[in-house]
Amino acid sequence: MERWRVQEAGQEQLLRFWDELTAGQRQSLQGELALLEPRELREHCQRAQEAYVRDKSCPQRLDHNMCPVPEEFLGSVRRSGPGELRAWEEEGLHQIAQNKVAVLLLAGGQGTRLGVTYPKGMYKVGLPSGKTLYQIQAERIIRLQQLAGEKYGTNCSVPWYIMTSEFTLNPTQTFFEENNYFGVEQTNVVMFEQRMLPAVDFDGKAILERKDKIAMAPDGNGGLYKALADNHILEDMEARGILYIHVYCVDNILVKMADPVFVGFCVFKGADCGAKVVEKAYPAEPVGVVCQVDGIYQVVEYSEINPDTAEKRNPDGSLTYNAGNICNHFFTLDFLKRVARTLEPHLKYHVAIKKIPYVDKEGNLVKPVQPNGVKMEKFVFDVFQFAKNFVAFEVIREEEFSPLKNADTAEKDTPTTARRSLLWQHYRWAVKAGAKFIDARGHLIEQSSRNPELEDPPAVCEISPLMSYFGEDLDLHLNNKDISSPFILDIQRL
């Protein structure tokens, strides 16, 4: 982009230090600018400034336009009978056995709040095995393929699509290569990159992170749909015969990828778009709620409703707006094609007010202590509005949702809470399978009513996903066995 083109975009400050740059630095900055078409850059910066002013002066409230997901479009693990759950699971496994299901991982964000400089999927929460989130997820895929293949007599695969960003692509690729893709067939792991957008200050000017580099940020997890088109991922899915895609976030340590119960439920209902939800822990929990607004499905953020609405209850005492969003979605391939090819431009941008490091007019690096800029994002769930047949599926939080977002200095969603959630789950599975835990002196460890959120389980037991996808078949290894804590059940240890 030549100087006149930068001027055309109204962003001359991006070349403020041009005369001071080396040839290599100029080439690097030119490469970034070449990706930004002047008109799009100008509109992006204007949109960011206007959105910031609007968000600051007039926060949106949706209370009077909302209603909950109608009962007929809401499934539930807790309220469904064993026969119904089994039928959905068998349908899901049948689709997996026919190679019709893929998983798609959203892994473009940086671990800033977690306090690390590498992708979240590479993080170890302190499990006895030392496994990372990526390894746990890979092993769940392998086990699920085995379960579906054995049940229906096929040799099946669940392709794993991983959306990265400029920050996470190379480290993720290297990590997978160094670990031999954790046993997943390499041809079934497809990584692709989402777009980056400039961060913008409150005056509508793109921010320089360094003299030769624009401050860029991923375009949100809703950048998925443009990335699918840009990287020809939909064509790859079609060539493999994929019909159904499970989309999820990297940071949920309990995620059931390609969950056959969820997939089966959505297929049974003829859904083109579906969302897993959990019951809100308390009315003011700061999570989005899946509901209808003016008859259209969407996720309403906690900041968009008044406290009275959040507290509203049904006659049975349950919260009216109870379907907490956990970024765990089902889509048909046809739906994704429709969104990526024609509907994506209609998705609105959301404002994220951030502290963005920058160089000042003298060229000094400044790390602001207060928010100083705007990052514009699209959200993956904003496509619910386009669904012809939307469904929601409520699952049990302690079995399926424990996100890793913050460092251990925070109160929730930390490495400690994630590790604790997984170890409690495995402890429950082991006890149900008939395991007897003993301490160092050979005494039986009594089961207790400890608080899973505040305390570790009575005994430490980690079960490899290669042994059990969701608690199945553990009696074969654990029934009536005396087990010393800590204990790891893994294929290599049998």
Find how far residue 446's CA is from the centre of its chain: 37
How do residues 370-390 score in pLDDT, each as one tens digit? 999 999 999 999 999 999 999
Domain 415-493 class, CATH top level = mainly beta
Decide: 212 and 12 in contact? Cβ < 8 Å: no
How many CA within 13 A on the CB side of residue 151? Answer: 17
pTM beyond 0.85, yes or no: yes
Average pLDDT over residues 36-53: 91
Nearest to 254 by CA among 129, 108, 106, 419: 419
Predicted pLDDT of residue 4:
76
3-state secondary structure (DSSP) of residue 314? coil
Listed by start position, the domains of the chain span 57-400, 415-493
Distance CA 193, CA 188 (A): 17
pLDDT band at 118 (very low <50, low <70, confident <90, very high): very high
* DSSP H or E segment with residue 51: helix 38-57
Q: Using one digit for the tens of pLDDT, what is the confidence trace for 268-323?
A: 999 999 999 999 989 999 899 999 999 999 999 888 888 999 999 999 999 999 99
Architecture label for domain 57-400: Alpha-Beta Complex (3.90)
Q: Which of 229-238, 406-415, 441-450 has the lowest mean pLDDT?
A: 441-450
CA distance 486 to 493: 13
Q: Kindly tell me if the per-residue pLDDT of 56 is higher than 90.
A: no
Residue from 152, 158, 118 nearest 139 by CA: 158
At residue 239 the predicted structure's pLDDT band, cuts being 50, 70 and 90, is: very high
- The structure tokens listed for 423 are 């170890």
Gap between the Cα atoms of 19 and 240, Å rounded: 51
The pLDDT tens digits of the residues spanning 481-492 come to 999 999 999 987
The answer to whether 281 and 266 have CB atoms below 8 angstroms apart is no
Distance CA 142, CA 184 (A): 7
